[in-house]
Structure 1
Amino acid sequence: MTSIGVKVIRGLFGAAERVAPQIGGKAAFQLFCRTPNPKRLSEGEKRAIDRAAGFMEEARHHRLRVGSRCVMVHEFRPRQGRENAGTVLVLHGWRSRTEYMKSLIEAHRDAGFRVMSLDLPGHGGSVGRRLNLATAVRAAHVAGEWFGPFAAVVGHSFGGAVAVNAVAGSIVGIPPLAASKLVLIAAPSSIPVLFKDFGRYLNLGPRTQSALAEEVRRIAGRPLDEFIGSRQLAETPVPTLVIHAPDDREVPADHAELFAQAGDHVRLRWAPGLGHRRILSDPAIVEETLGFVARQAVTAH
């Protein structure tokens, strides 16, 4: 059932469509970029963070300045005596954080990789309550300046979209992120579809939806309809592994199918029954991700 608050917001955007679509578009963009309140964690989220407490104590924590804000990057070094196989950048999704990527990080660290896990703006140890694709790509770029080049970038959900756009250099003014491989887990391919779905949820009319798209162009430097992951991967032939569950309710499976159309350098692996989040800790998925990354990995210097 739709809450009273959502009904009121939809009514306001309906009115804005008639009298002030530009203002409505800007307001919709701000809502789209608003990150969850870090103090309002579910019981499951609290348990996951508690379980990862010891794991996080093993990391070295780096606070990097990105524009006027700071982001946190957690460094997990290989076990003593293990040769450094390269550096892997891990990017979590929306309403997520490094702790939720624990299984993937541990597997790569134990295999000899140095793992850098970025808490995106407004998440985990990073400050703020705003996040959009441009700020996320900029944060990944800064991490790359400090810790790259990367043998691979592993991204889950929104983090996968960030990985693609960072490596493709799709945000005007931000150089491409240096990475030899990509792993995209439950990642959205079409950013325009996300905005269209968001606009439908808020009852945005066509003029307000156009104004929302214009905000994307203003922030990212490109029209919204250029942010199609399959096209970006087609123009950026980095070996890519796409992993997706057909039953994913947050990011439909057709996003994975779109990625797979980018070319022969993209391999699609279906993960039936694992949904959007369980996929991160499934042993078979973790093993396959590591195998793909470790195969002829490029050592970082």
Structure 2
Amino acid sequence: MPNFALKVIRLAFAMLGRLAPQTAAKLAFALFCRTPSRRPKGEKARMTEAEGRERLAAAERMPFPAGKSTVMAYRFGDGRPGRRRYLVVHGWGSSAAYISALPAGLAESGAEVVVLDFPGHGLSSGRSLNMRQAVDTVVEAERRFGRFDAVVGHSFGGAASMLAAGGVMKGAGAISPSKLVVIGSPSDIHWLFDDFSRMVGLAPRVKALLIQHAEQVAGASLDDFDTVAAAARLGKPVLVVHAEEDKEVASHHARRFGDLATAQLHWANGLGHRRIVSDRGVIETIGAFLSEDMPPVHEAAGSGAAA
């Protein structure tokens, strides 16, 4: 966000927070949920998106309604009975095109793979997204396409898929995969509200009202947005892929899975937050985890991981 725009926003929230804190909290939530521009930033991003669109051209487009949004879904594979079926979801500010190497790679095993554009992203409608919308979208995808053997999520999408599997949000329903994979994903969400409130200068009272409003929208408290606790309740195999140098989602989010008997932690160091989702080695590791009956392993080191 440009410095001038941020200064104006901070001044506006300072004034409105004193006069009408409830209104300030609701406006802050709307800003918190506002999705970034879908236009690629820079030549590298344009090339990545173009390559992704090329991969998606080989998939079947299958849009469906989810809440007030029309969600674009792409299906790799022909959906014949007997195949493994995977759902892949992207992170905040991303799209199916940006992570297309992952579903395309997983489909090489013969699996049917569905990848979504969340509301406000890619070719889906809308300009906002919150965790409840994301969970509702994942649950609706299972209603539309049938049960998935596994769900693979990057960043925000990993958290959303884990919460959808855990049935955390009141009235949202739940999905029932046999395995889950989270890549560079946050395992709790309090820090996002802390960082956002600090960035836009919310007073403590307005921040508290913002969280209260977010919890009402979600149908769950922020304490329930804990993917490690959800995984523990589920008792299903989980592969956690992360890079220790990830600057967007710190590595402690992955380490929190360390004591979970059903979780396997794979360090993909050197790949950061975004390249990790398209790395061939990571895709092969995920494919192996999904296709084999693997016993729980406490921690597995990827290339470049510290010993």
What TM bracket, shorter-length normalisation? over 0.9
In 2, Cα distance between equivalents of 1:54 and 1:69: 25
Shift of 1:148: 2.5
Q: Structure 2, unaligned stretches of length 5 or more?
A: 295-307
Range with greater deviation from structure 2 (195-204 or 154-163):
195-204
Note the C-alpha offset of 1:43.
Answer: 2.5
Contact 2:106-2:283 within 8 A present in 1 as well: no
Structure 1 position 285, deviation (Å): 1.0
Q: Bigger CA drift: 213-222 or 11-20? A: 11-20
Which whole-Å CA distance do the structure 2 matches of 1:145 and 1:156 have between them? Answer: 21
Tell me what 2:272 maps to: 275
Q: Distance in 2 between matches of 1:43 and 1:31?
A: 28
Q: Secondary structure at the match of 1:122?
A: coil
Q: 1:108 to 1:84 in 2, by over 3 A?
A: farther
Residues 8 and 47 (structure 1), Cα distance of their counterparts in 2 relative to 1, 3 Å cut: same
SS, match of residue 87 in structure 2: strand
**Which of 167, 188, 191 is matched with 2:189 structurally?**
191
- Tell me what 1:224 maps to: 222
Partner of 2:46: 46
Residue in structure 2 matched with residue 11 of structure 1 by the alignment: 11
Deviation at 1:78, TM superposition (A): 6.0
* 8 Å contact from structure 1 (residues 154, 160) kept in 2: yes
Determine which of 100, 105, 108 is the counterpart of 1:107: 105
Higher mean C-alpha deviation, range 239-248 or range 221-230 = 221-230
CA contact (8 A) 1:148 1:178 kept: no
* Residues 149-191 of structure 1: CA deviation (Å, up to 9, x unaligned): 1111000011101111110111210111111111000001111
Give, as a single letter, the amino acid of the residue that structure 1 aligns with 2:90: H
Match of 2:173 among 156, 172, 175: 175
1:207 aligns with 2:205: yes
Of 161-170 and 82-91, the range deviating more from structure 2? 82-91
CA distance in 2, matches of 1:271, 1:39: 28
- TM-score of the aligned structures, taking structure 2 as reference length: 0.91
The amino acid across from 1:119 in the alignment is D
More RCO (CA 8 Å, sep 6+): 1
- Aligned pair count reads 294
Letter in 2 for 1:64: F
* Compared CA separation, residues 294 and 83, structure 1 to 2 (3 A): farther
The one-letter code matched in structure 1 to 2:187 is S
Selected match of 2:116 from 104, 109, 118: 118
Structure 1 stretches of at least 4 aligned residues deviating more than 6 Å after TM superposition: none
Deviation per residue, 1:53-76 (Å, 9 max, x gap)? 332111111111112221011000
Distance change in 2, residues 1:74/1:2 (3 Å): closer
Q: Which amino acid aligns with 1:65?
A: P
Q: For residue 160 of structure 2, what is the amino acid of its counterpart?
A: V
Task: Give the match for residue 143 of structure 1.
Answer: 141
Residue matched to 1:289: 286
Aligned counterparts, 1:11-160, within 5 A: 11-39=11-39, 41-77=41-77, 85-160=83-158
CA distance in 1, matches of 2:281, 2:56: 23
Distance 1:17 1:259, change over 3 A: farther
In structure 2, the partner of 1:254 is 252
Q: Distance in 2 between matches of 1:204 and 1:237?
A: 39
Displacement of 1:225: 2.3
Give the CA deviation at 1:226: 2.0
Task: Output one character per residue of 1:108-167: Cα deviation in whole Å (capped at 9) or x when no partner.
Answer: 111011000011001111011010000111111111011131111000011101111110
The secondary structure found in structure 1 opposite 2:32 is helix
How many Å separate the matches in 1 of 2:101 and 2:39?
Answer: 24
Counterpart AA for 2:94: S
Residues 139/200 of structure 1: CA separation in 2 closer, same or farther (3 Å cut):
same
SS in 1 for 2:244: coil
> Quick one: percent identity of the two aligned structures?
39
8 Å CA contact retained: 2:154, 2:182: yes
Q: What is the CA deviation profile of residues 35-63 of structure 1, one whole-angstrom value per residue up to 9, with x for unaligned ones?
A: 11224643322211211333211111111
Are the aligned partners of 1:71 and 1:119 in contact in 2 as well (CA < 8 Å)? yes
